[in-house]
Amino acid sequence: MIKGYSHISSTVIAALVALCISACSTTRTVPENDRLYTGASVKWEGKKPRDYSTLTAEMSSRTRPKPNRKFAGMPIRLWLYNLGNEPKGKGLNYLLRKKWGEPPVLLSSAKPDYTANVLEQYLVDNGFFQAAVASEIKYSGKKKASITYTTTPNHRYRIKSVTFETDSSDLGKAVAAAKEGSSLKLNRPYRLDSVVAERNRVHSILKEQGYYYFTPDHLLIEVDSTNNGMVDLYLKVKDETPVAARKQYKMKNITLYPNYSLDNDSLSRRGTPVQYNHIRIVDSTKKFRPSVFDRSVFLKPDSLYRLSDHNTTLRRLTDLGTFKFVKGQFRAVRGDSSKLNASFFLTPYPRRSLSAELRGTSKSNNFAGSEIRITARNRNWLHAANLLEITLAGGLEWQVGGRTTTNNTTLRGGNSYNIKAEAAVTIPRFWQPLFNFNVKTPYVPRTRISLSYELFSRSQLYNLNAYTFQFQYIWRQTQYLEHKWSPVAITYVLPTSTTTGYDSILRNDPSQRAAIEKQFILGGNYSITFNNQADNRVHSFYLNGDLDYSGNLAGLIIPKKDSARKIIGAPFAQYVRLTADLRHYWKLSRKLTWVNRLYAGFGMPYGNSTTLPFVKQYFIGGSSSLRGFRARTLGPGSYRDTTSQYLANEAGDIRLEYNSELRAKLTGIFNAAVFIDAGNIWLKQDVPSKPGSKFKASTFGNQIAVDAGAGLRVDASIIVVRLDLAFPLRKPWLPSDERWVIKDIKFGDPDWRKENLILNIAIGYPF
């Protein structure tokens, strides 16, 4: 029985191995008289130009067809295809061949001569007018082949002169004046892209001067390459340019249709226009106040048509956030050939909406939780394009591992819940009662006023009530630069229901009292953000600076009483807090990005305050910080709280952190990363119960914690699920000469893993 069973098992294993070998043969399904195409390479003959790498990469991207895709160097989808047979239904073969697999890319589908001509034309467009590209098929084994394209670029032509050939007409003078600031620079290599960019630049200048019907196609740039390896460029207006394109236009009527629907086009246009300042509004249902559009329309009657006014108007109307479609239409006025009528058709979003959001969280300090958030929106509150948002949220958090122990007292569960309600209105302008202030930018400035209440209850410990009022201005200066200023930001923190269990914690760690201190935060904040990541650049940046302040003006007005200044019996915080978050994204290749972040924060309490308010202090560790340390368990400085890892609330007045992460695209929605984090927090003043926690210039460098790890990210576009596994490399609480713990790493030791290996599960990228 045993011997027979062993024989059967061996037969099955041998069959499976044979099947896998057959599948892993990438040429299994290649037809008899064909070969598997494994890709193309570009080879240069002669001297390589300075931009050789860019030219080669662009040429490689133009080769066709593309070989079978690979994951970690392996054509897994081709293997899956080869594992199946031609399907006869919807079974496993159908999945392997039609869903999961990818058929072999065949040499017969390649067109080497055609591709060589494409590459040759690309070189001509980049100044190699005498370039030649030859193709050669390289055979590998019995069933594989690749193609090598050999480039002989020869001489590269450069720009010797640029001449604008114009006449004495108004259009000719405008074109001649546009030569200043030309993007065609002498002695630079000729590039077709530069020529196209120059045509577009001149076109934009003319559009800014009223030439509405002028297009880039009305400009001709001739190239004379007979000048000893140099080119002379001649720009002129084409002779066949129509009269309408040669004429300047002024605006006459600007009409808005703010309740337009494509399904009811004729009905949407009906109604008597209402004149409001310089615009006419057709809104028979009176859905919007006319003043909504006064600050967004920059085209004015009897003024010259300008492309910048046109674009700014479109952007401002779209940026109101009330309309899902905005379309502009310009037509010459009948009987007055030098004027234009402008019509803007605006299709509004549904006025009211209700959304629900359910979140799940898992924290590195052994807490898991969930939250539900319901938001009701009115996009046109008071008929003024104001956004009214009413939000109700509630969440639970519970401890899934370990117990909180303090002074031999065990607090079971450590569960908590929070309830939050907020009402906020966003007004699409700078709202203030003194004067009408409207900045001419493509972006709508906003005023946001919010009032909120939050209850945070921690089981067997305390309840915390927070009331917040904020008045904020938000404006975008450029596409990349945004400002936020809150001249008024008031928070009132009121603790209730503290327990004897928490009193024992306070006796052991008095600094925890700051977490539930009754106080006012009466101040404001300002932040500035630069972010150009959306442009898909090789080097992109995110820079954020934040200034937070409290109690400055109140400290001058309110007198001291019982050694502190108070409002309705509660002291108010006095501090200045500066924070900087600097990030650099370096795209090393199409699938590889290196991200570096430097985060620095400094808080200076004064007057009523000896430390920053708890909600304004800095914390470190966890899924978006030092991932090899549990959240809020690290620091301050070399101090280590040994009483509990799960009720950790370590905070500081100063924070310094550096993160470096190498991100790689794997396949489909899967990405990976390796990273290293370093940093710590410190207190500004000495706290006797926390030795080593004060920031000192001479010692802070030796108190830096370091960790490393790797992560897997599932990027499904609308959501990114992140799993990061990290471990410490340097522990600042150990003796000075023992803080590096690299030599102690033992992945095979379960005790080491339990203490040091941290799994962070989070939504979104860490930075």
pLDDT in tens, 711-720: 999 988 778 8
- Identify the CATH class of 250-348: alpha beta
Please indicate whether the domains covering 250-348 and 509-763 agree at the CATH topology level.
Answer: no
* Sequence-distant (≥ 6) Cβ neighbours of residue 54 within 8 angstroms: none
Mean pLDDT check: name the lowest of 373-387, 562-576, 595-609. Answer: 562-576
Query: Judging by DSSP bridges, how do beta strands 250-257 and 336-348 pair with one another?
Result: parallel
Name the nearest CA neighbour of 47 among 152, 143, 130, 125. 152
Mean pLDDT check: name the lowest of 433-437, 676-680, 689-693. Answer: 433-437
14 falls in which pLDDT band (50, 70, 90)? very low
User: What is the distance between the alpha carbons of residues 532 and 463, in angstroms, rounded to a whole number?
Assistant: 42
% of the chain surpassing 90 pLDDT: 60
677 pairs with which residues across the strands? Answer: 659, 707
Q: SS3 for 101-133, per residue?
A: CCCCCEHHHCCHHHHHHHHHHHHHHCCCCCCEE
User: In this predicted structure, what is the pLDDT of residue 400?
Assistant: 52
Q: SS3 for 233-270, per residue?
A: EEEEECCCCCCHHHCCCEEEEEEEECCCCHHHHHHHHC
The single-letter code of the amino acid at 402 is: G
Q: Which CATH superfamily is domain 26-152 in?
A: membrane protein fhac (3.10.20.310)
The single-letter code of the amino acid at 385 is: A
What is the SS3 assignment for 381?
strand
User: In this predicted structure, what is the pLDDT of residue 668?
Assistant: 79
Number of H helices, E strands in the chain: 13, 31
pLDDT in tens, 59-87: 999 999 999 988 777 898 899 999 998 88
Query: Could you tell me if residue 170 is left (phi over 0), alpha (psi between -120 and 50 degrees) or otherwise beta?
Result: alpha
User: What is the distance between the alpha carbons of residues 251 and 305, in angstroms, rounded to a whole number?
Assistant: 6
User: What is the distance between the alpha carbons of residues 129 and 149, in angstroms, rounded to a whole number?
Assistant: 18
User: In this predicted structure, what is the pLDDT of residue 399?
Assistant: 54
The dihedral built from the CA positions of residue 610, 616, 618 and 622, taken in this order, carries a sign that is positive
- Identify the CATH class of 509-763: mainly beta
User: In this predicted structure, what is the pLDDT of residue 730?
Assistant: 96
CATH value of 158-246 in 3.40.50.300, 3.10.20.310, 3.40.50.10470, 3.40.50.2300: 3.10.20.310
The single-letter code of the amino acid at 469 is: F
pLDDT for residue 268 is more than 90 = no
474 falls in which pLDDT band (50, 70, 90)? very high
Name the nearest CA neighbour of 429 among 414, 411, 447, 441. 447
Decide which of 505 and 681 is more confident.
681
User: In this predicted structure, what is the pLDDT of residue 473?
Assistant: 95
* Angstrom distances, CA of residue 695 to CA of 577, 609, 622, 653: 16, 18, 22, 9
Return phi, psi of residue 548, to 5°: -125, 135
- Region 90-112 average pLDDT: 91
CB count within 10 Å of CB 193 equals 9
User: In this predicted structure, what is the pLDDT of residue 16?
Assistant: 44
Mean pLDDT over each residue of the chain, to the nearest integer: 87
User: What is the distance between the alpha carbons of residues 8 and 1, in angstroms, rounded to a whole number?
Assistant: 11
Name the nearest CA neighbour of 637 among 687, 599, 708, 694. 694
User: In this predicted structure, what is the pLDDT of residue 15?
Assistant: 44
Instruction: Please give the biggest Cα pair distance in the chain.
Output: 106
Mean pLDDT check: name the lowest of 501-515, 593-607, 646-660. Answer: 501-515
* Angstrom distances, CA of residue 389 to CA of 341, 463, 555: 37, 27, 34
**Structure-block tokens of residue 431:** 């709202």
- Region 260-289 average pLDDT: 87
pLDDT for residue 178 is more than 60 = yes
Alpha-carbon dihedral 243, 245, 250, 255, rounded to 10 degrees: 110
Name the nearest CA neighbour of 347 among 284, 259, 265. 259
What is the per-residue burial (b if ≥16 Cβ within 10 Å, else e) of 89-113?
Answer: eeeebeebbeebbbebbbbeebebe
User: In this predicted structure, what is the pLDDT of residue 17?
Assistant: 45
- Where do the structural domains in the chain lie, given as residue ranges? 26-152, 158-246, 250-348, 353-470, 509-763
- Region 86-112 average pLDDT: 91
Under 8 Å between Cβ of 231 and 157: yes
**Structure-block tokens of residue 213:** 């019907």
User: What is the distance between the alpha carbons of residues 314 and 310, in angstroms, rounded to a whole number?
Assistant: 6
**DSSP element (H, E) containing 135:** strand 132-140
Mean pLDDT check: name the lowest of 101-105, 396-400, 751-755. Answer: 396-400
User: In this predicted structure, what is the pLDDT of residue 627?
Assistant: 93
pLDDT in tens, 551-591: 877 666 676 776 677 776 677 888 999 999 999 999 998 88
% of the chain surpassing 70 pLDDT: 89
pLDDT in tens, 285-337: 899 999 899 889 999 999 999 999 999 999 999 999 999 999 999 999 988 87
pTM, two decimals, is 0.78
Angle between helices 170-177 and 192-207 (to 10 degrees): 130
User: In this predicted structure, what is the pLDDT of residue 437?
Assistant: 66
Under 8 Å between Cβ of 171 and 246: yes
245 falls in which pLDDT band (50, 70, 90)? very high
Under 8 Å between Cβ of 149 and 115: yes
Under 8 Å between Cβ of 705 and 629: yes
**Structure-block tokens of residue 470:** 């904020």
pLDDT for residue 361 is more than 50 = yes
Residue written as token pair 């591992």: 401
pLDDT for residue 20 is more than 70 = no
pLDDT for residue 508 is more than 70 = no
Under 8 Å between Cβ of 472 and 527: no
User: What is the distance between the alpha carbons of residues 288 and 153, in angstroms, rounded to a whole number?
Assistant: 63
Edge to edge, the sheet with strand 158-165 lists: 158-165, 230-237, 219-227
Burial of 407 (0-12, 13-18, 19+ CB in 10 A): exposed
Strands (E), 141-273: 144-152, 158-165, 219-227, 230-237, 250-257
Residue written as token pair 């190699």: 128
393 pairs with which residues across the strands? Answer: 373, 420
Return phi, psi of residue 21, to 5°: -65, -40
Burial of 609 (0-12, 13-18, 19+ CB in 10 A): buried
User: In this predicted structure, what is the pLDDT of residue 408?
Assistant: 45
Return phi, psi of residue 765, to 5°: -75, 155
Mean pLDDT check: name the lowest of 466-470, 562-566, 600-604. Answer: 562-566
Q: How far is CA 400 from the centre of its chain?
A: 33
Mean pLDDT check: name the lowest of 142-146, 365-369, 532-536. Answer: 365-369
167 falls in which pLDDT band (50, 70, 90)? very high
